């Protein structure tokens, strides 16, 4: 099912995201939320770097034996977050280590931050889903799920600014 969906690992989808990133400006108007364009760029970079082991990252929500309710909630999050054609919901709280107002990297020079994101995106793509720690919300992911998550996360924040 994930094979037909957009993925950071598919070259045409990677290039499309890269072009959309090029269209983002430091003064792009926010469509929702509280992030600035620079804050979203740094948030995305921090998320990639955390998963690549290059910075601290949010701990998984639950690491011990999970109740049926917790396992069901994770499954629903995974199905919606990774396989649904619907856009991700707006207003989901950002974990502190990747929230630019709480513990994430603060925005600097916008063009430099965009290049740092592009480099982190490329390193994530080149890792190809190998040796990844579990995702904070979705748990252990397959290669296809990592590519789908990366595409959807970028898409969500680019849409936040009309890019």
What confidence tens digit (pLDDT) does each residue in 135-155 have?
888 888 999 999 999 999 999
pLDDT of residue 36: 96
Which domain, by its residues, includes 125? Answer: 2-159
CB 137 within 8 A of CB 61: yes
Domains in the chain, number? 1
Residue 31 pLDDT exceeds 80: yes
Of 110, 92, 105, give the one whose Cα is nearest residue 54.
Answer: 105
């Amino acid at each position: 099912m994930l094979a037909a969906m957009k993925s950071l690992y598919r070259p045409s989808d990677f290039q499309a995201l890269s072009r959309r990133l090029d269209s983002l400006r430091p003064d792009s108007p926010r469509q929702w939320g509280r992030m600035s364009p620079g804050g979203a760029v740094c948030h995305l970079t921090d998320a990639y770097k955390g998963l690549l082991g290059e910075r601290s990252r949010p701990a998984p929500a639950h690491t011990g034996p999970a109740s049926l309710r917790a396992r069901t909630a994770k499954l629903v999050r995974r199905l919606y977050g990774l396989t649904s054609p619907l856009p991700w919901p707006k207003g989901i709280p950002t974990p502190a280590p990747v929230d630019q107002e709480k513990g994430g990297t603060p925005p600097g020079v916008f063009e430099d931050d965009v290049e740092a994101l592009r480099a982190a995106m490329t390193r994530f793509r080149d890792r190809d889903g190998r040796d990844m720690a579990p995702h904070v919300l979705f748990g252990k992911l397959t290669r296809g799920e990592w590519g789908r998550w990366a595409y959807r996360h970028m898409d969500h924040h680019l849409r936040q600014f009309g890019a």
